Every structure is written in structure tokens, then in C-alpha cells.
Amino acid sequence: MAKVKLHRCAIPTPGFLTGYHPCAAVERALRDANVDYEVVHDSILRFRRKDVEKLTGQKLLPLIEFEDGTAYRAESKEMAEKIQAGKLFEGRSAP
């Protein structure tokens, strides 16, 4: 399985909030699904998220960047459900 980059905010999230904070919920889904990922902490200030905007055309987090430089961004609940269902790499060519 390919390694992905999880772009998330730099706000530390205590364990009891992982189901409520959008970035933490997606990170937890990646961890629970045993997806190999690295965390990229982006600014909590949207106007400083230039790299995020280059990847997706918007400044919202979380997002997942694939090895080929493409990105996946949706509402965190939808992202977590897709990861948990094993469909994160669905429709993508094998690395």
C-alpha cells in the first residue's frame, strides 16, 4: 500500500477528542485502517495555507495527498468512512 500525507491543522488533539475534531478523526481512521501515512501540520490560519490551496484549490483541512501529488479532500466524516471501508485508494492506479 502506498504512503500518503495527511495534511492537518497544528492544533494538538487530546485522545478523547479524536472523534470530534475533523483532522483527528481522519488521522484516527488512517491509523485504525493501518494506512501508512505521514502528518503534515499546516497552519491553523487559513490565509497561510498556500500549499493546501495549490493542491486542492481551497484552504480547508484535513486533506490527503497521494504519492503522485494528487489530493483527496471531503468532509472529515466522509473521508473517515471511505478510509474505514478500505476505499481510500479505490480508482487509483497501483504505485
CATH number for the domain that contains residue 27: 3.40.30.10
Q: Is residue 95 part of a domain?
A: no
The verdict on residue 8 lying in a domain is yes
Average pLDDT, the chain: 89
pLDDT band, very low/low/confident/very high, at 84 (cuts 50, 70, 90): very high
**Does a cis peptide bond (omega within 30 degrees of 0) precede residue 95?**
no
Q: d(Cα 62, Cα 76) in Å, to the nearest integer?
A: 7
CA 28 to chain centre: 10
**Alpha carbon of 49 to those of 10, 41, 72: distances in Å?**
12, 10, 16
Look-up of cell digits 493501518: 34
Question: Does residue 93 form part of some domain?
Answer: no
* Per-residue confidence band for 93, with pLDDT thresholds at 50, 70 and 90: low
| Per-residue model confidence as pLDDT tens digits over 26-55 | 999 999 999 999 999 999 999 999 999 999
Specify the residue for cell string 486533506: 63
Write down the pTM of the prediction. 0.87
Structure confidence at residue 11 (pLDDT): 80
pLDDT of residue 95: 47
Tell me, yes or no, whether 55 lies in a domain.
Answer: yes
